[in-house]
């Protein structure tokens, strides 16, 4: 993870960025309530993030340096795991700042101190590219409000705007416990429970903005020699903007969402990249005959919507799960094309 190059600050309001022609201002909006996530009962089996102690046990000895293991230096409960997300987004923020010349603020729907920040003009006024990371567990009830949908509709009416939605996985949606167990054995991550359902907020946004997509499952990607993630299956003929120029793979993550297109209109959504699945591990999705899942989608401007809308999971922007030139090319394309 990147070394901090300047002193860190906390507990201040965002300073708006001036518009610079040709250099987009990028913002990240995390749809969780930090207190709701950090305050989940650790005695509960499902629908919560791991504690830092659980992460250390499973990943041992990766986090046994005092930087991570000393409770006087790093939180050991669920909050510690949430802070890992922030640490792992820093390289993406730094990279984007180098490309655009603008710092990248990270907003939380409800932050550590309990400040509530709806997705409104305060976030959108100085934003050209907005990433919405759908990391709210459904049980926390993060519902998008009508005013937020209205503000986002105005945002995507701007020709210079771009919206990147990243609803996370939906593991264990079935009431059949044997199906949940199959899903769990498929992804193979002991830190993800038999049921972990994310992204009420982004689902509301997609419904409100007429984005005909639903996040489903948590699928394990196929790998090649050296345990490297298998290359994407791409539809280059549909990629008129060049979003995937120089991109052959994303990063490996054990449970990625399938972005199911729910519209019958052939041109509504372009599926630009599919990820091959590890078919050695049974899953209801592969038992239905599928060998790949939808990984990266694009909705070109249409009608009153002048902005591009894209879908890509938030893990693609986190260095917790690795990164290489292919991934950085993707980051660059999203903020500069």
pLDDT, tens digit (0-9, with 9 covering 90-100), for 31-66 = 999 999 999 999 999 999 999 999 999 999 999 999
- CATH fold of 26-170+197-215+257-273+294-336 reads Rossmann fold (3.40.50)
**Cα pseudo-dihedral 152, 158, 160, 164, rounded to 10:** 20
Residue 117 has pLDDT above 70, yes or no: yes
Please report how the helices 78-100 and 325-336 are oriented relative to each other, as an axis angle in degrees rounded to 10. 70
Residue 2 has pLDDT above 70, yes or no: no
Q: For 133-162, what is each residue's pLDDT tens digit?
A: 999 999 999 999 999 999 999 999 999 999
Work out the number of other CB atoms within 10 angstroms of the CB of residue 37.
22
How many CA atoms, within 13 angstroms, populate the side-chain half-sphere of residue 193?
17
Beta bridge partners of 137: 198
Helix (H) or strand (E) holding 320: none
Q: What percent of the chain clears pLDDT 90, i.e. is strictly above it? A: 93
Peptide bond into 61 cis (omega under 30): yes
CB 96 within 8 A of CB 104: yes
Residue 79 has pLDDT above 50, yes or no: yes
Beta bridge partners of 129: 26, 162
Question: Three-state DSSP class for 78?
Answer: helix
pLDDT of residue 1: 46
Number of residues assigned to the chain = 337
- Provide Rg for the chain, Cα atoms: 19
Beta bridge partners of 132: 29, 165
| Every domain of the chain and the residues it spans | 26-170+197-215+257-273+294-336
In b/e form, how buried is each residue of 210-219, taking b as 16+ CB within 10 angstroms?
A: ebebbbbbbb
Residue 4 has pLDDT above 80, yes or no: no
Total-model pTM? 0.96
Q: What is the DSSP string of 99-110?
A: HHSS---EEEEE
Q: For 214-253, what is each residue's pLDDT tens digit?
A: 999 999 999 998 778 999 999 999 999 999 999 999 999 9
pLDDT of residue 179: 98
């Amino acid at each position: 993870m990147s070394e901090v190059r300047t002193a860190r600050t906390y507990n201040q309001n965002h300073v708006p960025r001036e518009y610079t022609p040709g250099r987009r201002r990028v913002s990240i909006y995390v749809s969780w309530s930090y207190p709701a996530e950090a305050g989940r009962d650790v005695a509960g089996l499902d629908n919560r993030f791991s504690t830092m102690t659980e992460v250390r046990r499973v990943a041992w000895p990766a986090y046994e340096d005092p930087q991570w293991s000393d409770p006087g230096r790093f939180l050991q409960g669920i909050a510690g795991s949430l802070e890992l997300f922030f640490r792992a987004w820093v390289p993406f923020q730094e990279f984007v700042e180098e490309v655009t010349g603008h710092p990248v603020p990270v907003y939380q729907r409800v932050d550590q101190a309990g400040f509530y920040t709806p997705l409104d003009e305060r976030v959108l006024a100085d934003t050209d590219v907005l990433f919405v990371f759908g990391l709210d567990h459904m049980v926390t009830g993060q519902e998008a409000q009508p005013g937020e949908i209205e503000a986002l509709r105005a945002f995507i009416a701007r020709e210079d705007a771009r919206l990147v939605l990243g609803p996370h996985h939906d593991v264990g949606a079935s009431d059949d416990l044997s199906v949940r167990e199959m899903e769990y054995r498929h992804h193979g991550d002991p830190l993800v429970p038999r049921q972990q359902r994310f992204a009420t907020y982004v689902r509301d946004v997609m419904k409100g903005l007429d984005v005909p997509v639903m996040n489903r499952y948590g699928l394990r990607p196929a790998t090649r020699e050296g345990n490297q993630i298998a290359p994407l299956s791409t539809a280059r003929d549909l990629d008129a903007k060049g979003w995937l120029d120089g991109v052959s793979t994303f990063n490996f993550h054990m449970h990625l969402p399938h972005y199911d297109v729910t519209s019958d209109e052939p041109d509504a959504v372009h599926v630009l990249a599919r990820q091959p699945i590890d078919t050695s591990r049974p899953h209801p999705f592969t038992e239905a005959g599928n060998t790949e899942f939808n990984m990266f989608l694009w909705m070109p401007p249409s009608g009153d919507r002048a902005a591009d809308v894209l879908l890509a999971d938030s893990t693609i922007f986190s260095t917790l799960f690795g990164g290489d030139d292919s991934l950085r090319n993707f980051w660059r394309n999203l903020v500069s094309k």
